[in-house]
Amino acid sequence: MITNLKKIINLQDTSDSSGNVKQLEYELTEARYQIEKLQKQIQSNAIKDDRTTLESQVNFLNDVIVDLRNTNELLNKEIEFLKNPFVGDDEFSQNITTRVKSSAPRLYCKFK
């Protein structure tokens, strides 16, 4: 009877250890799944951050391009006006003449 009890205890220990092994294998599989899931989230967040950064850079460069075009158009008008000041855009010629006429007075000159 004692030997039968020892066999039963050994069988229970064996079944407990195999149950523990199965439990550990399940937890390992679950942990691997969580790691893969987190890695995918990290990659998708990195892609979103990269896209946001690139979009902001594109918007900035578009603003620079627009400013450069406006400056270029203004300079082309000024060149055309300087080639022939009597023909052309009246508004532009007024801007040029007011800019030339509105020079600052010299402080070191004395008026009598």
The HSE-up count of residue 112 (CA atoms within 13 Å, CB side) is 0
Query: Does the model's pTM come out above 0.75?
Result: no
Query: Residue 18: what pLDDT?
Result: 73
Closest listed residue to residue 50, CA positions, set 39, 58, 38: 58
Distance CA 103, CA 95 (A): 13
Print pLDDT tens along the chain (112 aa).
556 555 555 555 555 677 788 888 888 899 899 999 999 988 888 888 888 888 888 889 999 999 999 999 999 999 999 998 776 556 555 555 555 555 555 555 554 4
Extents of the domains making up the chain: 2-83
Query: Residue 111: what pLDDT?
Result: 47
Query: Residue 6: what pLDDT?
Result: 58
